[in-house]
Amino acid sequence: MTLAKGLGIYHQTGASEAHALVEQHAPLVKKIALHMLARLPASVQLDDLMQAGMIGLLEAAQKYQSNKGASFETYAGIRIRGAIVDEMRKGDWVPRSVHRNARRVAQAIKAVEDRTGSEAQDADVAAELDMTLSEYHACLADANSGRLFSLDELNESGELPIEESERSESPLEGLASEAFKRSLAEAIGELPEREKLVLSLYYQEELNLKEIGAVIGVSESRVSQIHSQAAMRLRARLADW
């Protein structure tokens, strides 16, 4: 969606309240865009992310309903991130090899954990993939820099839980959605402590990789590896979904 089209949608509402929400929360777009830029290839421009994010903010101002329980900032943050992810997907800048290797890692983690009944360690997964440890870590780094991972994307639906009430769905679909979210919460709770901490600092506290490294006492590149492995472990454990 172009910015002009998004502005058209916004102006059609003619709502002064929406206008005030957009003006008040415009800095949120830059904050989120900068946060996401840190995990994208150098070729991606901040202005492109901010333009996509502004579309998300405009749509949030149009669709927000205060009686749904979430604050506007929370709702807008999800819409902004979703709009940026959608725009990056359309750009198709991620090499197929990155997606292929990410799937291989997730499958290897699942194979190791199914066989051993315990958490797959770096060395175990590398051996399963017939890689050296350094090759495996390089694969994790590629996966982290080449894709926009978010906990809400694990179901591959492209929809975010907070917005599900806007969609018309059958009772069975609603039950499946709730069951998935419960499974996701359980899977996150069962992650190794360091992986849980990295995800919490990254997605809830919105620290960047360098800041997280300072908190837990490891290098920025190691944080990237831990983040990617957490993502792959979750994907492996939720493979049935």
pTM (global) more than 0.75: no
In CATH, 96-237 is 1.20.140: yes
CATH: 1.10.1740.10, 1.10.260.40, 3.40.50.12780, 3.40.50.620. Which one for 3-91?
A: 1.10.1740.10
Whether the CB-CB separation of 169 and 158 falls below 8 Å is answered with: no
Question: Is residue 72 packed enough to be buried (19+ CB in 10 Å), middle (13-18) or exposed (0-12)?
Answer: middle
Q: Where is pLDDT greater, at 40 or 118?
A: 118
Give the pLDDT band of residue 155 (cuts 50, 70, 90): very low
Residues of the chain with CATH 1.20.140: 96-237
pLDDT in tens, 118-130: 889 999 999 999 9
Whether the CB-CB separation of 79 and 55 falls below 8 Å is answered with: no
What span, in angstroms and rounded, lies between the C-alpha atoms of 110 and 120?
Answer: 8
Residues of the chain with CATH 1.10.1740.10: 3-91
pLDDT in tens, 184-238: 888 888 899 999 999 888 877 778 788 899 999 999 888 888 988 888 888 888 8
Residue the block writes with tokens 């101002």: 61
What span, in angstroms and rounded, lies between the C-alpha atoms of 18 and 77?
Answer: 15
What span, in angstroms and rounded, lies between the C-alpha atoms of 149 and 143?
Answer: 9
